[in-house]
Structure 1
Amino acid sequence: MDKEPLDRIGRLGLTVGSATCLEGAIMGKRLFRVEAGNCCDHALAQASVLMDSARRASFIGVMDNEPALIWASYFLGEMAKALMDDAHMGISKKLLAA
């Protein structure tokens, strides 16, 4: 992403910082939130990497009977979903403003 021209960065919009993931110990509290102001293009690309990692961890965890990898897959999937949800909100916001 560092090599992309500045006019291409954020062409889909910027993350809004609303999506969260992973339940906290206190009811209704979440552990993580997507940071606002990140490029939606990059957020979606990173979500794809997280989803691939989750898929691989899930497969290996099941095949090798490794519960820790199955839990890692769950956490990676939650993070990917938060990134995609927040990027979607940023894209929608940009489209509505246009």
Structure 2
Amino acid sequence: MENSSVFKTLGVGTFGEGEGGPTAERLFRVQAGHNADFALEQSALLLSCAYKLTLQAGIEPDGTLVWAAHYLSGMSKALVEDVAHAMFIEQTPAP
């Protein structure tokens, strides 16, 4: 079944601290051109994994699961921000 989402990812969503620290260019970027509904579905899957990891991390005190959840939620955030940006651009009237 073909995906018919009007909105496409723009490639503006980013994730991952760059080599120069928090103010440096990000390490990863969302690829432009994917259907928004697919990107949001992937974001939901990433958030589901992060949710399960944080639940498990509450039981295991070593801290490694928390970092995994942090990275998964960051990737999900980049996807959602990219789609939101595409929706905003589409709804903004041309000058």
Match of 2:59 in 1: 63
**Match of 2:67, as an amino acid?**
W
- 1:37 pairs, out of 33, 36, 41, with 33
How many residues end up aligned between the 2 structures? 92
1:19 aligns with 2:3: no
- Runs of at least 5 residues in structure 2 that lack an aligned partner in the other structure: none
**Match of 1:68, as an amino acid?**
T
* Root mean square deviation, CA, Å: 1.8
Runs of 4+ with >6 A deviation: none
Please give the TM-score of this superposition, normalised by the length of structure 1: 0.83
- Runs of at least 5 residues in structure 1 that lack an aligned partner in the other structure: none
Residues of 2 paired with 1:88 and 1:12: CA distance?
A: 13
Residues of 2 paired with 1:57 and 1:35: CA distance?
A: 26
Q: Percent identity?
A: 30
Deviations 1:73-94 (A, max 9, x none): 0000100000000011122233
Residues of 2 paired with 1:10 and 1:33: CA distance?
A: 23
